[in-house]
Chains A and B, each alone.
Chain A
Amino acid sequence: AQKVTQAQTEISVVEKEDVTLDCVYETRDTTYYLFWYKQPPSGELVFLIRRNSFDEQNEISGRYSWNFQKSTSSFNFTITASQVVDSAVYFCALSEANTNAGKSTFGDGTTLTVKP
């Protein structure tokens, strides 16, 4: 069975601070996919990134960066120089590739509040 743990329920930072959101996952599969989604106060889920288990290269997209470490089963997300608009709930999700089904398992989410 797959499991995603986001241990940080809530994080509060002041604008321009860097912040890291943790994600730890469990899976028996050797091939899997990890995702991060953002859910702003308006409620929609916005796709941020997808990473497959073969690719441990870290990724940077503007102020966002992701650190994937298979050895510790972690896929952490860092926002550099945070802004008020980054305030949202962030979800990490896992999808096992060894099935024909698109079942994604989500973590409970981390609520990030960025104060001006």
Chain B
Amino acid sequence: DSGVTQTPKHLITATGQRVTLRCSPRSGDLSVYWYQQSLDQGLQFLIQYYNGEERAKGNILERFSAQQFPDLHSELNLSSLELGDSALYFCASSTGTVRPSTDTQYFGPGTRLTVL
């Protein structure tokens, strides 16, 4: 158990809908990362937050957004969902040093999103 929790575990929804995925980092971790794992694209970095502020953006679509709240939990919002958004979405957290890229990231169990 990495100490990172994600809810829900599974989500099934229809095209055009909007969903919110939630992540609670390990106790004391300030950085949160979101990744998408799909069959075609593999594991892709989406976005990183550090202590409430956006730190880096990866291959995140404009239909997707995220935020990190004062209690450090994070939410990933996916809107206008398409079939191709079906994937496993991972959240990871790290301690968040001056150079977050040096931190080891610990992953949550993931949320499996199915868009029908």
Contacts and interface: CB of A to CB of B under 8 A. Distances in A.
Contacts of A109: 42-43
B110 A100 contact: no
Q: How large is the interface on B (under 10, 10 to 19, 20 to 34, 35 or more residues)?
A: 20 to 34
Interface residues of A, number: 25
A103 B104 contact: no
A102 B100 CA distance: 5
Interface string A28-60: 000001010100000111110010100000000
B101 A99 contact: yes
A78 interface: no
Nearest to A99: B101
B102 A44 contact: no
A47 B55 contact: no
B56 A99 contact: yes
B106 A47 contact: yes
Interface of B: 2, 31, 33, 42-45, 48, 55-56, 58, 88, 90, 92, 94, 98-110, 112
22 contacts: A33-B102, A35-B104, A37-B107, A44-B109, A45-B90, A45-B107, A45-B110, A46-B107, A47-B107, A50-B104, A52-B102, A97-B101, A97-B102, A99-B99, A100-B98, A100-B100, A100-B101, A102-B56, A102-B100, A102-B101, A103-B48, A104-B33
